Amino acid sequence: MTNKARCPVAQFDHHSPEHTESHVAIYKKLRDETPVAWSESHGGFWVLSDYASVYEASRDDDMFSSARHDEYGGPGLAVTVPKAPTQFHIPIEIDPPNSAPYRKLINKVTAPKAAEKLQPLIKHYVTGILDSVIESGEADLAIVAGVPAMVTVDWLGLDPADYKMYVDAMHTLVSAAPDSPEYRHAADVAVPQVERTVRAHIAHRRDNPTDDITTYFIDSDVNERKMTDDEIYSILELIISGGVGTTASLVTQSLVWLYQNPEVRTQLIEEPSMLDVAIEEFLRVFSPTQALGRTIMEDADFHGCPVRKGDRALLSWASANRDQEQFADPDEVDITRWPNRHIAFGVGVHRCAGLYIAKGLAREIFTQVFERMGDYVVDLENMVTYPDQGTNAGFHSIPVTFTPGERLLGDTPMFAEHYSKA
Ligand code: HEM
């Protein structure tokens, strides 16, 4: 898309190596100089980086649509820039009011009380994964990133022993550079494998109902009718992709920061009651889902910029969360910051459906890491960050050493691979 009349134009590409290296500084410059700007990367898009514009756009679904409009920016997942080649996702790619009946169903199983019921399952997997390394005194702390995947697939009634397949597929799509070999493998091989597995599971559950979440969706009505397999698959794939990488990103970034700030780590170990407020600050400052896309549906003046119907836009939650107009000392990590109106979970009708589950996961992972390997030392030289931090930020690998401890569960076959390394 050409853009002579657009102003201002910024050199910005959230999938570039420069962005991976210095996204905090790049977003700060944008906020200071051009909070709404046009980028020529990826076919052209508006990048919204200050709190006011991101907040306003997220709440205006008529003008900033989340729906697929293949005629603008090509086919694919409408809420990433560029569009990712995945399955249509319900309800994130449906604008209101049609998104509401689906969202109501999802809310029933993700509301605070329902999320609380998942705590024993979360505790089980956190205990198991830490058991698998606790005796050795050394580990890749990024293994905790597997827990959100285990919990999510178990909750859906899928086999948790396959959790790596889901991580490979869903996580790679948001942590590898578009069109890199890893990304192509995820899109062409891993995601289709997930699709075959989950569709077979739905078909099996239609004949063999249980009390799992897949059965719940099969039995539920939307607009006074049962859902098709396509609709159920679309919801399940969104829940898996929402649940797998994001919480992992939050926890891994926070654990590395806590190693670098030992007085705060000690404070949280000594006063676990501070954890919930601290998690809100980690969400603000690390914003696991950095930025997502929309399609503009009408010509308008938006914050002084001439946006046009069909333009794509990138809303940066990460940048908004460091806007000094909204947060005092935004680059300071203050684990007592309150109120904390961060928008790491988005804003408006598509605000994260899994946020209570995410916080429950984070709380349990921090609690057990602090209790069982609270003196962990990170080998900062040998950490591996996600090669692309445009959509999700975080670490693939965090080598650590710590004082060895005892296992709390017996042998668990799905963790055997880690035992052998111990
Ligand atoms: C720290 C962890 C998480 C973060 C930062 C996060 C972030 C987000 C964001 C920013 C959105 C808004 C998308 C938009 O407006 O386009 C979203 C939506 C969503 N998230 Fe999360 N998420 C997290 C964890 C989870 C988990 C654990 C699940 C599932 C168990 C989940 C399921 C969803 C779903 C289903 C939506 C779509 C909601 C809708 O369209 O109505 N998320 N998430």
| Cα 354 to middle of ligand 1, angstroms | 6
Ligand 1 neighbourhood includes 359 CB (under 6 angstroms): no
Closest of 285, 269, 295 to residue 1, by C-alpha: 295
Indicate which residue's Cα is closest to atom 20 of ligand 1: 352
- What is the spatial distance between Cα 63 and Cα 72, in angstroms, rounded to a whole number? 14
Say if residue 51's pLDDT is above 90: yes
Q: Does any ligand 1 atom lie closer than 6 A to the CB of residue 307?
A: no
Q: Is 90's C-beta closer than 6 angstroms to any atom of ligand 1?
A: no
Is pLDDT at 32 greater than 90 in this prediction?
yes
400 DSSP 8-state letter = E
Quickly state the pLDDT bin for 419 (edges 50, 70, 90). low
Q: Is 350 in the pocket of ligand 1 (CB under 6 A)?
A: yes
* Percent of all residues in the chain with a pLDDT value above 90, rounded to a whole number: 80
Give whole-number Cα distances, 314 to 44, 127, 152, 276, 280, in Å: 10, 38, 28, 29, 23
292 CA: nearest ligand 1 atom: 16
Would you say residue 334 has pLDDT above 80?
Answer: yes
Residue nearest to atom 7 of ligand 1 (CA): 345
- The finding on whether 346 has its CB within 6 A of some atom of ligand 1 is yes
DSSP SS3 for 123: helix
247 touches ligand 1 (CB under 6 Å):
yes
Residue type, 400: V
Distance CA 93, CA 172 (A): 20
Cα torsion at 210, 408, 142, 111 (round to 10°)?
A: 40
Q: Please, which pLDDT band fits residue 260 given cuts at 50, 70 and 90?
A: very high
Q: Residue 114: exposed, middle, or buried by beta-carbon count in 10 A (0-12, 13-18, 19+)?
A: middle
Residue 6: pLDDT band with limits 50, 70, 90? low
pLDDT score of 422 more than 90:
no
What angle, 0 to 180 degrees and rounded to 10, lies between the N-to-C axes of helices 275-286 and 355-373? 110
pTM: 0.95
Q: Is the pLDDT of residue 7 over 80?
A: no
Residue 85: strand pairing partners: none
123: CA distance to ligand 1 center in Å? 21
pLDDT computed for residue 421 by the predictor? 53
Q: Which residues, listed in sequence order, are joined to residue 9 by a DSSP beta bridge?
A: 38
The response to whether residue 82 sits with its C-beta less than 6 Å from ligand 1 reads no
CA of 76 to the centre of ligand 1 (A): 18
Q: Is the CB of 345 under 6 A from ligand 1?
A: yes
User: Which residues does residue 316 pair with via DSSP β-bridges, in sequence order?
Assistant: 291
The contacts of residue 107 (CB under 8 Å, 6+ apart) are 353
- Ligand 1: which of 107, 109, 213, 246 to mutate, judged by most atoms within 8 Å of the beta carbon? 246
CA dist., res. 338 & res. 333, Å (int)? 12
User: For 225-245, what is each residue's pLDDT tens digit?
Assistant: 999 999 999 999 999 988 788
Decide: residue 301, CB within 10 A, 0-12 exposed, 13-18 middle, 19+ buried.
exposed
Q: Are strands 305-307 and 300-302 parallel, antiparallel or unpaired?
A: antiparallel
Which pLDDT value is given to residue 371?
97
Q: Is the CB of 354 under 6 A from ligand 1?
A: yes
Q: Under CATH, which architecture does the 17-421 domain have?
A: Orthogonal Bundle (1.10)
